[in-house]
Structure 1
Amino acid sequence: MAANAGNSLTLSVLTSFRKVYWKTTSVLLFGLLFQSAGSDDESIQKANIAGRSVKRR
């Protein structure tokens, strides 16, 4: 029983870490895209598409 509890705890920690990691990565990507783009409509659309694909994971 103790081993099972430890495994589930490890899994939940890994899952939450992965979520935080993807959020951080997507925020960094957005920042880079907007910095290089300025306020280009086309690049803003690309950033939105990139954000959607990150959210799907």
Structure 2
Amino acid sequence: MEPTRLTVLEQEMERLRVELHQTANTDPRHWSQATLLPISKQLDALIVEYYKEKKKQM
């Protein structure tokens, strides 16, 4: 069975969440906007997409 769009989005959000935490917890020098901001923006965009998709399925 092929994963649903919501499942794919959930998996990608979790991957980015882990990446964000690992980057932030590895070394304080990685706390710069240049390092964390792109990951955070990607995660934010996926969250918005996830909720739009979820709303369509209601």
User: TM-score, normalized by length of structure 2?
Assistant: 0.53
| Displaced runs of 4 or more, over 6 A | none
Q: Point out the structure with the larger helix share.
A: 1
Aligned length: 45
CA offsets per residue over residues 1-56 of structure 1, 9 Å max, x none? Answer: xxxxxxxxx66x52011110111011100111001122x3x643111112334537
List gaps (5 residues or longer) in structure 2.
Answer: 47-58
Q: Distance in 2 between matches of 1:33 and 1:44?
A: 10
Asked if structure 2 preserves the Cα contact closer than 8 Å seen for 1:34 and 1:44, the reply is no
Q: Distance in 2 between matches of 1:22 and 1:47?
A: 17
